[in-house]
Structure 1
Amino acid sequence: MHPSALQIRDFTYDLPEEKIARYPLEQRDQSRLLLYRNQAFTEDTYRNIDRFLPEGALMVFNQTRVIHARLLFRKPTGGRIEVFCLEPDNRYPDVQTAMLQQGEVYWKCMVGGAAKWKEGQVLELEQEHADAPKVFAALHERAEGVYILHLYWPASDTTFAEVLHQAGKVPLPPYLNRDAEQADEHRYQTIFAREEGSVAAPTAALHFTDEVMQSLAEKAIDAAFVTLHVGAGTFKPVKSETMEGHDMHAEWIEVTAPLLETVMNRLALDKPVVAVGTTSCRTLESLYWIGVRLIRKENIDFAGIAMPQWYPYENPSDIPATTAFRALLDYLQSTPLSKLVTRTQIIIAPGYSFRVIAGMVTNFHQPQSTLLLLVAALVGPSWRDIYTYALEHGFRFLSYGDGCLLWKK
């Protein structure tokens, strides 16, 4: 069955409010870890995850960094307008270029109270410190359900990344139902956070510490890093009855030639590749299909969306993963580019055949979400048994909650 025919009501469960973790544990790696394999459950903590992974496995992490995406502006009349920065306008080739803009930038945003923002009205950013640089916002245009804002500041040697860091707030998920606190500055970032651009953390990796990474290395379990800038679409509910009516959000991915080579070599040795989080999984599986498109000599829009939503289901392939990654590596090495930067819109749902990953570390996700669909694609109908067990045994859910290690069915 084509996943577009899936009914989202089949992927729901009762999530009581008290099961949602509002705050993280004091020690990251003490979060509980649920392991499910061959219809058997095991419980432990992330501190001991190395015990459940085979020697020679490759763990792939997302090294994106969450930006201070929430900005509060004040109208000339004194009223407040909240702005949530989603992603750069299409005039920029990638997130990094946009983040380094000086003096001005155009950004796609959600705007709270937009109806009260009169055309031509310029707003000024609220600042906690009197000596902070002034920042202004003007409505540029409305596009695809969001607003494109023209943001500008007189300090022309200041980058937009610096503006956000100085004046913005950590964009905690809405289901936490609380304002960001000082501790979230640190805890809502992974220890690998490097490339700025996400509006949500790759939460599966929040549980990893230097001590855990050392334990993995001692067992010859290597780590590799991709970048997928998580967009607000990750929280976008599926409102249509079937997946056919859901427009999957596109997200920026960045990968280097060494990463492609590392994954390709590990697959050639038949060693398991384990994605840490749905974002790493989505990146790795998208890379396979982009490689397939290169082999097929298709016209790929690398500046736009290289992997459309339904491509894997409508264009089946029996090309080995190593061959697809070799094609992608050869393409990248034939260009002057140091890394591949594009966007993926892939939706991974039941009916999808995984080509790269053998397993995944992930948190427990919201009912009727595309993230839960991805889990169901990996483990099959057993997803319901896993979530029922977690609910009945006191596991904490969502971004700051516990997690699980799941293997491909």
Structure 2
Amino acid sequence: MRVADFSFELPDELIARHPMADRTASRLLTLDGNTGELGHKIFKDLIDFLNPNDLMIFNNTKVIPARMYGQKSTGGKVEVLVERVVDEHRVLAHVRSSKSPKEGATLILEGKAEATMVARHGELFELEFKGEQTVLNILDDIGHMPLPPYIDRPDTEEDKARYQTVYNEKPGAVAAPTAGLHFDEVLLEKIKEKGIQTQFITLHVGAGTFQPVRVDSVDEHVMHSEYIEVSQEVVDAIKKTKANGGRVIAVGTTSVRSLESAAKASEGELQPLYGDTDIFIYPGYEFQVVDAMITNFHLPESTLIMLVSAFAGQDHIINAYKTAVNEQYRFFSYGDAMFITKQDK
């Protein structure tokens, strides 16, 4: 299977660089995984596709202001993007500079914080911050929201609220679980009123989610790892839903990957899972848990377009994406959404 098989032409003007004024005003492209039938709706119409015995799984991660600018003590400019918070004073981070900092080098960030490069782990640098302030407090004070590379503009105050779900709870992500950006409190209340159950998992989205696939053959790609939490409460709710004939609807590919990781770790019998996952889902994968998903439009040749192709059929997804381009849908993190039902094998 070739990576190039997951390509499509996307005009630059269809990349959404700013959020809609109203979260639920985004468009919603519906796709039946079995028939390939498409429908054109508004996101707030999602409620019409949900049944009272369904269970929706959301990712409650919180995006941290993970990007900082500064200089080395020798004067050279640096850009730091935190990938993972290790403890209260240490992070693993991507560091961009003309020359990579060496062990013991001091970085002065935003003129306010100092960090020492204590070790290198492959492409990531381990940085230790000086002083009593915790890493999360420092980032809240001086960090910038880590907008994706394709949103090629400086971050603004608006992004602090809008590149974040309304139900965020656990800090740790450096990219938003973007399917969740379309939900507001009013829609969540309507979902509750309809009798639809909701549960939350945690997957701290890493910057690796934007890394291009650099191999020609899909099965040669090595996935980055991310931290997930799938609780016993979530497991119990899923088992009850399945027993009652309801559907498990994952909000976003992060929820899909978390649930399928929990099933895979225990060889198909869903169990709680706290730890890292590097699950790579592409056509041929057999889904254990998820019956339908809500997701944004993904980059050409990305691991996420491979995931949705595995879920609804590659031909159906490529056709849906071509239709979305023709119909001028908005793409990527601040763009429009899809509601997809699983293709029966």
- The number of residues matched between the two structures is 340
- The 3-state SS of whatever aligns with 2:186 is helix
Q: Is the 8 A contact 2:15 2:335 kept in 1?
A: yes
Distance 2:194 2:316 in 1: 29
Distance 2:233 2:19 in 1: 33
Q: Once the 2 structures are TM-superposed, how far is the Cα of residue 291 of structure 1 from its aligned partner?
A: 2.3
Alignment match, 1:174: 149
Q: Is the 8 A contact 2:230 2:259 kept in 1?
A: no
Which residue, 18, 22, 26 being the options, matches 2:21?
Answer: 26
Which residue, 49, 63, 68 being the options, matches 2:65?
Answer: 68
Q: Is the 8 A contact 1:7 1:243 kept in 2?
A: yes
Q: Is the 8 A contact 2:104 2:118 kept in 1?
A: no
1:139 corresponds to 2:73: no
Q: Is the 8 A contact 2:85 2:135 kept in 1?
A: no
Alignment of 1:274-313 (within 5 A): 274-292=249-267
Q: Once the 2 structures are TM-superposed, how far is the Cα of residue 376 of structure 1 from its aligned partner?
A: 0.3
Alignment match, 1:388: 322
Structure number with bigger Rg: 1
Distance 1:256 1:56 in 2: 20
Alignment match, 1:85: 82
| Distance change (3 Å), C-alpha of 1:235 and 1:79 | same
Distance 1:239 1:227 in 2: 28
Distance 1:152 1:77 in 2: 18
Distance 2:50 2:144 in 1: 37
1:250 corresponds to 2:225: yes
Q: Once the 2 structures are TM-superposed, how far is the Cα of residue 362 of structure 1 from its aligned partner?
A: 0.3
- The 3-state SS of whatever aligns with 1:390 is helix
Q: CA RMSD in A?
A: 1.5
- The 3-state SS of whatever aligns with 2:99 is helix
Q: Runs of 5+ in structure 1 lacking a partner?
A: 1-5, 90-97, 128-133, 293-318, 330-339
Q: Is the 8 A contact 2:76 2:97 kept in 1?
A: no
Distance 1:247 1:175 in 2: 23
Distance 2:232 2:324 in 1: 39
Q: Runs of 5+ in structure 2 lacking a partner?
A: none
- Deviations along 1:2-27, one digit per CA (max 9) or x if unpaired, are xxxx2100000011110100001000
Alignment of 1:2-401 (within 5 A): 6-37=1-32, 38-89=35-86, 98=87, 101=88, 104-105=89-90, 107-113=91-97, 115=99, 117=101, 120-127=104-111, 134-149=112-127, 151-154=128-131, 156=132, 158-292=133-267, 324-325=269-270, 328=271, 340-380=273-313, 381-401=315-335
- The 3-state SS of whatever aligns with 2:150 is helix
| Identical columns (%) | 39
Q: TM-score, normalised by structure 2?
A: 0.95
Q: Is the 8 A contact 2:57 2:255 kept in 1?
A: yes
Q: Is the 8 A contact 1:19 1:396 kept in 2?
A: yes
- Deviations along 1:340-372, one digit per CA (max 9) or x if unpaired, are 420111111000011111111000000000000
Q: Is the 8 A contact 1:48 1:212 kept in 2?
A: no
- The 3-state SS of whatever aligns with 1:373 is helix
Alignment match, 1:334: none
Q: Is the 8 A contact 1:199 1:231 kept in 2?
A: yes
Question: Letter of the aligned partner of 1:215 in structure 2?
Answer: K
Q: Once the 2 structures are TM-superposed, how far is the Cα of residue 55 of structure 1 from its aligned partner?
A: 2.3
Distance 2:224 2:242 in 1: 29
Alignment match, 2:340: 406
- Deviations along 1:219-264, one digit per CA (max 9) or x if unpaired, are 2112111000001111011010012321101110012221111111
- The 3-state SS of whatever aligns with 1:84 is strand
Q: TM-score, normalised by structure 1?
A: 0.80
| Distance change (3 Å), C-alpha of 1:116 and 1:143 | closer
Distance 1:114 1:146 in 2: 16
